[in-house]
Structure 1
Amino acid sequence: MSSKLEQSLNEMGITLPAAPAPAANYVPFVVTGNTVYVSGQISNGEEGLIVGKLGDNMTTEEGAAAARTCALSLLAQLKAACDGDLDRLVRVVKLVGFVNSTADYTEQPKVINGASDFMVEALGDIGRHARSAVSAVSLPLGVAVEIEGIFEIK
């Protein structure tokens, strides 16, 4: 099933990836009532995992691009949670972003903007959300960014 939202993404040249399988003992999302909680999605591009540490071997711009891949995976998981119908999305409620960064790196918000800006660009006003952007000394598999999301659906 292709939703209007997914058709709009396609017109932007964006195809959602398949919803990634969990890497450990957890589920990729939980639906309770009208809320979907999506587990942390790690930075993963067409060529595989996007690894690195901001403030060391990655620029803020590269980190923002990595965060955008997390946003795509969040929407892919949301699509799975909505039985393939992204038009059930009411709004993005909150994103929590973790940035693999050095102790002196302070541009975590600019990195997570890669995901936030994408949500607004792709979804309009329903993509505006509350957010946290925090530093982490390391992330699973050495990835640069991990983002989890909370969504309201109908």
Structure 2
Amino acid sequence: MGQIDKRLVELGITLPAAAKPVATYVPWVRTGNLVFISGQGPIVDGKITLQGCLGDTVSLENGIKSARLCAINVLAQLKDACGGDLDRVTRVVKLLGFVNATPSFADHPKVINGASDLMVEVFGEKGKHARSAVASPSLPFGISTEVEAIIEVE
């Protein structure tokens, strides 16, 4: 078991199998040392969770949980891209987080911290990254958050 797998166990995180795409795209692409991971939603056991809109039907706390679930699914895709070895990660380069939000909702950064904090908890210094957190008037299947990533690997 690698160091990152041990860290996931310490954090009580079990990565799911990498989800299959729901449209015409691939879940990840590697070019050179970079892995581009398509947007991941808050899916648990193959089921969509935490649907709704921040500033309306979804609390800030549940938005943060949703972003964390998205990040767990990003890690599942990353593990697939790394042939099962997350110790190959050299840097989380960037996260892009989308928040299904009302026009008056302004805590997008707090919501996407759910994903960012997880990357730092798992990878330490290598998990610190550039990031954007943006509002969206809707997201696929009514999910409350979606997160995509760019990761550098060996």
TM-score for both structures, normalised by structure 2: 0.96
Local SS of the residue matching 1:141 = helix
CA-atom RMSD in angstroms:
1.1
CA distance in 1, matches of 2:58, 2:129: 26
Distance 1:148 1:113 in 2: 13
2:16·2:45 contact (CA, 8 Å) conserved in 1? no
Q: Which amino acid aligns with 1:27?
A: V
Is the Cα contact below 8 Å between 1:54 and 1:105 reproduced in 2?
yes
Mapped partners of 1:47, 1:110: distance in 2: 26
Instruction: State the alpha-carbon separation in 2 of the partners of residues 113 and 83 from structure 1.
Output: 27
Distance 1:47 1:28 in 2: 15
- Give the ranges of 4+ consecutive aligned residues of structure 1 lying more than 6 Å apart after TM superposition: none
- Aligned ranges 1:73-84 → 2 under 5 Å: 73-84=73-84
Q: 1:116: which partner in 2?
A: 116
- Quote the offset at 1:128 in angstroms: 0.3
CA distance in 1, matches of 2:117, 2:94: 13
Indicate the SS of the match to 2:61. Answer: helix
The residue aligned with 1:23 is 22
Matched-pair identity in %: 54
> Aligned partners of 2:10 and 2:58: how far apart in 1?
30
Unaligned runs of 5+ in 1: none
Partner in structure 2 of residue 35 of structure 1: 34
| Aligned-pair CA distance for 1:48 | 2.8
Equivalents in 1 of 2:46, 2:54: separation in Å?
A: 19
The residue identity in structure 2 corresponding to 1:35 is L
